[in-house]
Structure 1
Amino acid sequence: MVDQDRIIKINIEEEMKSAYIDYSMSVIVSRALPDVRDGFKPVHRRVLFGMNELGNTSDKPYKKSARIVGEVLGKYHPHGDSSVYFAMVRMAQVWSLRYPLVDGQGNFGSVDGDSPAAMRYTEARLSKLAEEMLRDIDKDTVDFQLNFDDTLKEPTVLPTRIPNLLVNGASGIAVGMATNMPPHNMSEVLDASMAYIDSRGEITIEELMEHVKAPDFPTGATIYGYAGVKEAFETGRGRVILRGKAEIEHEDHHEKIIITEIPYLVNKAELIKYIAELVNDKRIDGISNVNDESDRNGMRIVVDVKRDANSGVVLNKLYKLTALQSSFSVNNIALVNGRPRQLNLRDMIKAFIDHRQEVVLRRTRFELKKAEERAHILQGLIIASDNIDKVIAIIRASKNPQEAIETLMETFALSDIQARAIVEMRLRQLTGLEQSKLRAEFEEIEKLIAYLNEILANEDVCMQVVKDELQEVKDKYGDERRTDIVYASEELNPEDFYADDEMIITISHMGYIKRTPLSEFRAQGRGGVGAKGSVTRDEDFVEYIYPASMHATLLIFTAKGRCYWLKVYEIPEGAKNAKGRAIQNLLNIEPGDKVNAFIRVKRLTTDKEFINSHYLLFCTRKGVIKKTLLEAYSRPRQNGVNAITLREDDGLIGVCMTNGDNEVLIASKNGRAIRFHESEVREMGRIAAGVRGMRLADDSIDEAVGMVCIKKKENEAPDTILVVSELGYGKRTALDDENGEPIYRITSRGGKGVKTLNVTEKTGKLVAFKNVTDENDLMIINKSGIAIRVSVSNLSVIGRATQGVRLINLEKRNDEIASVCKVLSEPESEEIPENENEVNGTSETNSISETEQ
């Protein structure tokens, strides 16, 4: 029965809930989270306090770490010795704390992740900075609590003069919450704190950020982008991107990447090991060797770059794939009045200033009490010195000290403390010099008491004391920033992984595309035999071959009026005899749609001046023309955009880029062509439908077959107009005669135009309208699949209204020409222009328009 009476029945669910909540709060309050006032968890506070109690200060010899750990364990921190030792070790590591608080001697680990030596081998003492955190702790500046066995007292917080939570940061994992606070520069934080005092607490976060620029990490590196920093200061949460510092050194035969600083908390040895693994796994090309040449003078990681590799691209890949660029997730959670709170920059500075104000007030009260006690004694001593003979007589006449004290109290109206001080006074204080010293000391004490009372009575004076002490700390310990800030940069740009090398892009008639390094094409003189180009299917051929740099952009337009973007580096690379890849496999082109035009721009998103001074001209089958600023197409989207609004029975046939001063020619199936200046077409928005460019015949058969944009050329042979009919007839016609009079007369847009081909039953309708020079060849493809290559230079220039000559003999009675393509002439298939300025700037159906950026 007795045992049954001792058993108390409880609900296990409630008990587990209660016990876990108690455990959680214990972890949150007493282990894992720092106090907002001194920035310490209990273990760090106890280590520093224990070292101070040992007299283990910066002006004394080092003490064994085991002695310090034993002191802290035995008196204040009832946990494992490793928790105390590793906490002390971290406070001594210059790569862990921005401002180390422990001065260690011996092996305290390394930035490579090496473990510190055992505590019996290492020695330590407080750093001068740590002493600033403990100063005045004996002046009743902070509250003390009993230790774990109620035999000693320990401080609940340190009376720090340093905003340690900000300058050294903190990290910890509690139950249901965690903290991760970055370190900051002490000079900046103290400047912000003094600015807070000057503003009487009315300062904003933005104004504080003028002083505290960003976190400042002990390992230096570079903060890459400011958005995360700003968010962290304003909300207490944010993501800071850190990049290691690296420079490229140029040597005779190759280049080297020299890494001198790495991001905070990155293990240098693991970083080097991972780089080597990436090289072995072929994930990074261009690295031949990695060496760690770090020494006592600083960090130096040497990455040898292969001769044929681009150092800038290799470095950007290191940033992308390794911890050389990493992020620090800021989560400012600290204990405020014993409760966890998320804090912004202003909250943390306010908490620190409030703490300093309380410390100064408590210290002032303590010093005032001591000063008043001393002044009281001095008053008695001065009375005694004024009546020294009588005092001596009283003392000599007394039987014992207590009788002398009582007699003195009655004779001179003294207090017990004053009388005792007189009785205990030494004979040397009877000299005249000592008596004058007493009066001088009393006067100083009176001044001190008045000053201390003013501090207590006047808040402005109190805050000035706080500010002066902060300025003193800054003057002693302030230093320059180690971490640089790159404000404008954010995530890595895909272009960073590709050198802006010159490439040759080839596009086949059936839509296969590839890029080939320019170095694979050797230059030939005029009349050379050329070299074998792309291997294509039997019925396919290379239609376009032109230079482009890796960072250039292709704007691709389809018959349904859609615009897609393709970076040159996104085009699959292949040897010059490779087939390439279908464009439809690279873009999200709708079924039933097909690519009809390409425009190439060197710097589509960065060269604002260029895209705001150039235009795109669109032409549709129904003779509609539209002119839009290139800038409207400078914001790429993965799924493309509508480039022009088309009617259901219409389709896009050509796009060309102009500088605003081009002439435009449009030809129709019925053999008519119109010529007008592009200024006739007003500028419109991206999704506009356009205006009439050419009036077509009333019959349902007539439609536009091509558009040509003519740029004025100096010191070059002018382009000629080539027309081809569906039954194989064609001809070349000059734009202007020898006297400069226009053969194709210039009119307003919207007219029927003039005859460009005498269309008869013998010739058939017009199917192709091109601008050509003697440098071009024609690829003529029949509907039956037969292709023939014709040199343009073999075609003579004849009149505008003629029917032309037979270009191809159509053997089958019902055969017709399906398409006509302009290509580079065969002997010069390898003569690639040296730069983009040499490329023709015209565009037509299925053609490329080159820029002159």
Structure 2
Amino acid sequence: MSDDIENVPGEDSGSTGSGTNIIPINIEDEMRGAYIDYSMSVIISRALPDVRDGLKPVHRRILFGMLELGVNYNKPYKKSARIVGEVLGKYHPHGDSAVYDTMVRMAQPWSLRYELVDGQGNFGSVDGDSPAAMRYTEARLRRIADEMLSDINKNTVDFSPNFDDSLKEPSVLPGKLPNLLLNGSSGIAVGMATNMAPHNLNEVADGIAAYIDNNDITIDELTKFVLAPDFPTGGIIYGYQGVRSAFETGRGRVVIRSKAEVETLKSGREQIIVTEIPYLVNKASMIEKTAQLINEKKIEGISDIRDESDRSGMRIVYELKKDAIPNIVLNNLYKQTQLQSSFSVNNVALVAGRPKTLNLKDLIKYYVDHRHEVVIRRTQYELEEAEKRAHILEGYLIALDHLDEVIALIRSSRDPEIAKNGLMEKFSLSEIQARAILDMRLQRLTGLEREKIQKEYDEIKELIEELKAILADEGKRMEIIKNELLELKDRYGDERRTYIEHAADEFTAEDMIPDDDMVITISHEGYIKRTPLVEYKTQGRGGVGSKAATFKNDDFTEHLFIASNHNYLLIFTEFGKVFWHKVWAIPEGSKISKGRAIQNLINIEADDKVRAVINVINLNDPDYINNNFLIMCTERGTIKKTSLEAYSRPRQNGINAITINEGDKLLNVRLTNGDNHIVIASNSGRAINFHESDVRPMGRMAAGVRGINMKDGEFVIGMVCVDHKDPANLLVVSENGYGKRSEFEEYRMTKRGGKGVKTMNITEKTGSLVAIKDVIEDDHLMIINKSGIAIRTEVKSLRVMGRATQGVKLIRLNEKDSISAVEKISNIEEEEIENPDELNNEGGEVQENSEE
């Protein structure tokens, strides 16, 4: 084989012996280019509708071909085979089934909301039956289809050559009817698809009129006119969220339910009657699958199914057993069968030859833009025609004013050419006027005919002025578009077929949950729960406390904070990741329950653990997320500041919140407003105070800068962020239960990165520092030790002391116990329990439990 392609000596190496050039190409480039060409051809010439007339090329060619064939709504039907042949031979060189199937669909009342083809014969059924062969059926255009084609001969649209350049076909129809909104469309291209829902003409016309009156109308305002899709098979739109999403974004999932009612027979037995089914559902297939589910005992309570549909309408009967509850059976049918279906809206259409996803306002805008261009071109065409006619009429009037001279000139002329030239010279006429005079019939020379010519001329002049006024005034053109549309509404408008029902599931779980304050606890081993704040009782300072949680021996509460049910939690782990979770979605538990493993709620790694949780009010408010920051602090004293906006897009698997250096861990995270003071404290009892502006905002993946300088073996135990305007104190707590509060003024302002000043006199008696908090007198404290004992006390019971003092005892601890977590509770309005017996009893019970 290689011998056959060897180069012949003396010939060019790039050619064979036959002289044919061989051009080497990269097969990957060639395949890529060919596939892109193919995909664009499918997108533009086959699968996607044009936003202007809502038609794909095959639909457009069928309608235009039927117009050219003369099968209008007021003409006799013609054989479908004749129509298909016309379209195939002139405009659409593809398979005949492609054309016939498309024409059939345009004639099916269950497929199109407003059919464009009037079919005679068997055009299929909602049961999925095939139509009869094209040689048996007949068709013609419906009257409403004439609105799509009206004015096509008035230079309103561009025409392009057909496949063999022998004829011209329209590249788009004038489309007086907003067809894309009314009938929708569906198609699968290459790499994209479209699925557009039908709507009601009355609503669409009102919506477009509202848009014409106010181009700045919002989609919310448009939905007062265009309520929702209106499917040809009726049914019930169950829930409005998908409709709203489709209108606003061009994508949404619309749930459709069958229309069903319960009838009671004379015998007392009940039956469910279905009279409308969801759009695009095959009735026979649905009934067959339902019967199969009943036989398999997956649906119970139904003794028989019958299809009693006839020419008068649809009627599917589900006979119920004696003990069956209709509502339960019907809901089960909705859940397991196609009595409830969904229509996934994906509004993709061609805009200027490019596919684009469109919302409701976009669809209306492009329709109005198209109609505006059509009106301009139609008016321009009519103006030109009117001016031509006026020109001829002016010639007629000149001739009639000089009738004897014209007749004499014509009689004396040897041939029409001489007569024409003579008329042009003598009466200053144009060639067109002269020809028209020569072609004029003798009867037009009567006095009555002259009056008619004069009247026609006056009317033409008025028309010309009117057409010029339209071309000069956009407002008039828009008024024409609106009036034509309202005429269509009066002529073809009908009642909405699909009922809208706001679904119960639109009221989300969050809507049904009161926005109460909750105590959120997370244990050292990663168990999380929420408990209503009202379950905790207020005690005096020094009380023993009530039992807060029951854990296994090596577990204890590590995080405790307050949040309302509707807030977002940003959960940060020591590896520097952040996860999102709604408060109400956290399992609720009592004070003594251990909660649910946090791994069941978020996808945290096995060796990672939660280090900080931020309570965020709202992640959807741009003002809020752009003007608030997250300050992060690590155990080695690194600090980082990032805008909350960088963490406002929840992801199920979390994202990296900060880059953690080797050997370090994320310790704490706080939400700030950009003008806070930051205090970082170490276990050795030293704290540094600097302004937030010392830390510039960084990206989400940054590692941060040094916040405090510490000796070997020291580590950061907490960070506080306070607004300098707040009358707050700094509370510090040691591991052996000592604490105090001091004025912030006692901590001098420095630059970040320093060693700080003493914040507590650390001794063997106090133990190392374990917590710092910013508090005011109205705050309460929740203190939990490692054995699970909790005490709640008021901050005002702690007197303000100097920053270098030791503090007072906050909680009585057992010999080998120590404090694990401290959290403040702000603005609690509860009465303190003043009965000492109650305190003693509660304390005794806790003491016993802890000893056990």
Matching residue of 2:256? 242
The answer on whether the counterparts of 1:643 and 1:686 sit within 8 Å (CA) in structure 2 is no
Matching residue of 2:445? 430
Partners of 1:319 and 1:393 lie apart in 2 by: 90
Partners of 1:195 and 1:221 lie apart in 2 by: 27
Matching residue of 1:314? 329
What are the residue-to-residue correspondences of 1:377-392 with 2, within 5 Å? 377-392=392-407
CA deviation map 1:739-775 (0-9, x unaligned): xxxxxxxx974417999xxxxxxxxxxx9xxxxxxxx
CA deviation map 1:822-847 (0-9, x unaligned): xxxxxxxxxxxxxxxxxxxxxxxxxx
Q: 1:49 to 1:687 in 2, by over 3 A?
A: farther
Partners of 1:363 and 1:27 lie apart in 2 by: 32
Shift of 1:122: 0.5
Q: 1:420 to 1:753 in 2, by over 3 A?
A: closer
Partners of 1:318 and 1:110 lie apart in 2 by: 23
Partners of 1:75 and 1:647 lie apart in 2 by: 78
Percent of aligned pairs with the same amino acid: 59
Matching residue of 1:224? 238
Matching residue of 1:97? 112
Partners of 1:493 and 1:343 lie apart in 2 by: 27
Partners of 1:197 and 1:493 lie apart in 2 by: 36
Q: What secondary structure does 1:259 align onto?
A: strand
Gaps of 5+ in 2: 1-7, 9-15, 510-518, 549-563, 567-581, 596-779, 785-789, 794-811, 815-832, 842-847
Shift of 1:640: 3.1
Q: 1:491 to 1:753 in 2, by over 3 A?
A: closer
The answer on whether the counterparts of 2:420 and 2:431 sit within 8 Å (CA) in structure 1 is yes
CA deviation map 1:329-373 (0-9, x unaligned): 111111111111111111111111010010011111111111000
Matching residue of 1:403? 418
Shift of 1:647: 12
Q: What secondary structure does 1:323 align onto?
A: coil
Shift of 1:562: 11
Matching residue of 2:276? 261
Q: What code does the residue aligned with 2:261 have?
A: E
Pick one of 591, 599, 603 that aligns with 1:644: 591
Pick one of 161, 172, 176 that aligns with 1:157: 172
Shift of 1:691: 7.3
Pick one of 802, 827, 837 that aligns with 1:751: 837
Partners of 2:299 and 2:151 lie apart in 1 by: 57
What are the residue-to-residue correspondences of 1:144-223 with 2, within 5 Å? 144-199=159-214, 201-223=215-237
Q: What secondary structure does 1:6 align onto?
A: coil
Shift of 1:266: 0.5
Q: What code does the residue aligned with 1:751 have?
A: D
Please give the TM-score of this superposition, normalised by the length of structure 2.
0.61
Shift of 1:487: 2.6
Shift of 1:622: 8.5
Moved more, 410-419 or 123-132: 410-419
Shift of 1:304: 0.8
Q: 1:637 to 1:455 in 2, by over 3 A?
A: closer
Shift of 1:435: 0.4
What are the residue-to-residue correspondences of 1:296-445 with 2, within 5 Å? 296-445=311-460
Q: What code does the residue aligned with 1:203 have?
A: I
The answer on whether the counterparts of 2:544 and 2:791 sit within 8 Å (CA) in structure 1 is no
CA deviation map 1:269-309 (0-9, x unaligned): 11111110110001011111111111111111110111111
What are the residue-to-residue correspondences of 1:539-554 with 2, within 5 Å? none
Partners of 1:231 and 1:264 lie apart in 2 by: 19
Q: What code does the residue aligned with 2:590 have?
A: A
Partners of 1:451 and 1:41 lie apart in 2 by: 36
Gaps of 5+ in 1: 495-560, 564-589, 594-610, 649-683, 693-697, 701-746, 756-766, 768-853
Q: 1:619 to 1:456 in 2, by over 3 A?
A: closer
CA deviation map 1:220-276 (0-9, x unaligned): 111111111111111111111111111111233321111111111011111111110
Partners of 2:270 and 2:835 lie apart in 1 by: 59
The answer on whether the counterparts of 1:99 and 1:168 sit within 8 Å (CA) in structure 2 is yes
Shift of 1:639: 7.2
Shift of 1:34: 0.5
Q: What code does the residue aligned with 1:447 have?
A: E
The answer on whether the counterparts of 1:562 and 1:640 sit within 8 Å (CA) in structure 2 is no
The answer on whether the counterparts of 1:320 and 1:492 sit within 8 Å (CA) in structure 2 is no
Shift of 1:213: 1.0
Q: What secondary structure does 1:469 align onto?
A: helix
CA deviation map 1:156-187 (0-9, x unaligned): 00001011111100000101111111111111
Matching residue of 2:760? none
CA deviation map 1:2-41 (0-9, x unaligned): 5453142332221111111111111011011100000000
Please give the TM-score of this superposition, normalised by the length of structure 1.
0.61
Partners of 1:430 and 1:170 lie apart in 2 by: 58
Partners of 1:117 and 1:72 lie apart in 2 by: 19
Q: What code does the residue aligned with 2:360 have?
A: L
Matching residue of 2:683? none
Does residue 45 (structure 1) correspond to residue 131 (structure 2)? The answer is no
CA deviation map 1:129-178 (0-9, x unaligned): 10000000001100001101110000000001011111100000101111
Q: What secondary structure does 2:389 align onto?
A: helix
Matching residue of 2:769? none
Q: 1:116 to 1:618 in 2, by over 3 A?
A: farther
Q: What code does the residue aligned with 2:255 have?
A: I
What are the residue-to-residue correspondences of 1:395-794 with 2, within 5 Å? 395-490=410-505, 624=546, 640-644=587-591, 749-751=835-837
Aligned residues: 570
Q: Which has the larger radius of gyration?
A: 1
Q: What secondary structure does 1:145 align onto?
A: strand
Matching residue of 2:722? none
The answer on whether the counterparts of 1:632 and 1:685 sit within 8 Å (CA) in structure 2 is no
Q: 1:387 to 1:271 in 2, by over 3 A?
A: same
Partners of 2:173 and 2:282 lie apart in 1 by: 32
Shift of 1:490: 3.1
Q: What secondary structure does 2:397 align onto?
A: helix
Matching residue of 2:83? 68
The answer on whether the counterparts of 1:292 and 1:301 sit within 8 Å (CA) in structure 2 is yes
Q: What code does the residue aligned with 1:237 have?
A: R
Q: 1:221 to 1:3 in 2, by over 3 A?
A: farther
Partners of 1:341 and 1:481 lie apart in 2 by: 28
The answer on whether the counterparts of 1:625 and 1:691 sit within 8 Å (CA) in structure 2 is no
The answer on whether the counterparts of 1:642 and 1:687 sit within 8 Å (CA) in structure 2 is no
Partners of 2:538 and 2:465 lie apart in 1 by: 92
Partners of 1:406 and 1:632 lie apart in 2 by: 96
CA deviation map 1:681-738 (0-9, x unaligned): xxx999996879xxxxx9x9xxxxxxxxxxxxxxxxxxxxxxxxxxxxxxxxxxxxxx
Q: What secondary structure does 2:55 align onto?
A: coil
Shift of 1:319: 0.7
Matching residue of 2:773? none
What are the residue-to-residue correspondences of 1:15-26 with 2, within 5 Å? 15-26=30-41
Q: 1:422 to 1:230 in 2, by over 3 A?
A: same
Q: 1:208 to 1:3 in 2, by over 3 A?
A: farther
The answer on whether the counterparts of 1:248 and 1:255 sit within 8 Å (CA) in structure 2 is yes
Partners of 1:98 and 1:90 lie apart in 2 by: 11
Moved more, 167-176 or 9-18: 9-18
Partners of 1:406 and 1:616 lie apart in 2 by: 111
Matching residue of 1:80? 95
Q: What secondary structure does 1:294 align onto?
A: coil
Q: What code does the residue aligned with 1:222 have?
A: I
Shift of 1:641: 2.6
